[in-house]
């Protein structure tokens, strides 16, 4: 029967070495290491055979902070440029339609007869364009599955 291998004596892969190298790169960016130390430690990382050797390379560095939580869906939508553009265009379209509808209604009431509903020409084509853009996903928040 063979003895179990201690975790520090386990062999490392290139993927594990790359993770440690990235941690060292972030430490340089945060001012915890200078470039000479970084170079020396990266050479040690790529020469390491066991996990214990990798742990010793970063033992004096503080643990990285946890990643920030993912943004809430409305925060993603708020930062989405296409979403902002669609909201602005929809507001402009709704205002133009409302103004034209009020003018048409006023003219119809003032003349006492039904005037051709010309405001539909203002509402229809731009509204259709906005609807098609929204249907194709422009201006909608990205789904969680993507």
Taking 90 as the threshold, does the pLDDT of residue 73 lie above it? Answer: no
**Predicted confidence (pLDDT) per residue in 13-69, tens digit:** 999 999 999 999 999 988 999 999 999 999 999 999 999 999 999 999 988 777 788
Q: Which has more pLDDT, 86 or 65?
A: 86
Q: State residue 50 phi and psi, 5-degree precision.
A: -125, 165
What pLDDT, on a 0 to 100 scale, did the predictor assign at position 17? 95
11 forms beta bridges with 50
Taking 70 as the threshold, does the pLDDT of residue 76 lie above it? Answer: no
What pLDDT, on a 0 to 100 scale, did the predictor assign at position 144? 52
Rounded distance between C-alpha atoms, residue 91 and residue 133, angstroms: 15
**Predicted confidence (pLDDT) per residue in 107-123, tens digit:** 999 999 988 999 999 89
Closest C-alpha among 124, 125, 141 to residue 87: 141
Taking 50 as the threshold, does the pLDDT of residue 146 lie above it? Answer: no
Cβ atoms 58, 24 nearer than 8 A: yes
Element (DSSP H or E) covering residue 112 = none
Element (DSSP H or E) covering residue 126 = helix 119-135
pTM of the model: 0.45
Closest C-alpha among 83, 54, 98 to residue 142: 83
């Amino acid at each position: 029967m063979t003895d179990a291998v201690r975790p520090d004596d386990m062999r490392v892969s290139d993927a594990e070495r790359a993770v440690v190298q990235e941690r060292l790169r972030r430490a340089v960016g945060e001012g915890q290491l200078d470039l000479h130390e970084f170079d020396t430690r990266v050479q040690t990382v790529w020469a390491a055979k066991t996990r214990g050797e990798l742990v010793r390379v970063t033992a004096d560095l503080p643990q990285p902070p946890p990643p920030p939580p993912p943004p809430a869906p409305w925060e993603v939508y708020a930062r989405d440029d296409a979403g902002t553009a669609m909201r602005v265009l929809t507001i402009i379209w709704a205002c133009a339609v409302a103004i034209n509808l009020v003018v048409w209604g006023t003219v119809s009431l003032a003349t006492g007869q039904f005037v051709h509903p010309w405001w539909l020409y203002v509402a229809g084509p731009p509204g259709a364009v906005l609807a098609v853009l929204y249907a194709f996903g422009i201006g909608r928040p990205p789904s969680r599955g993507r």
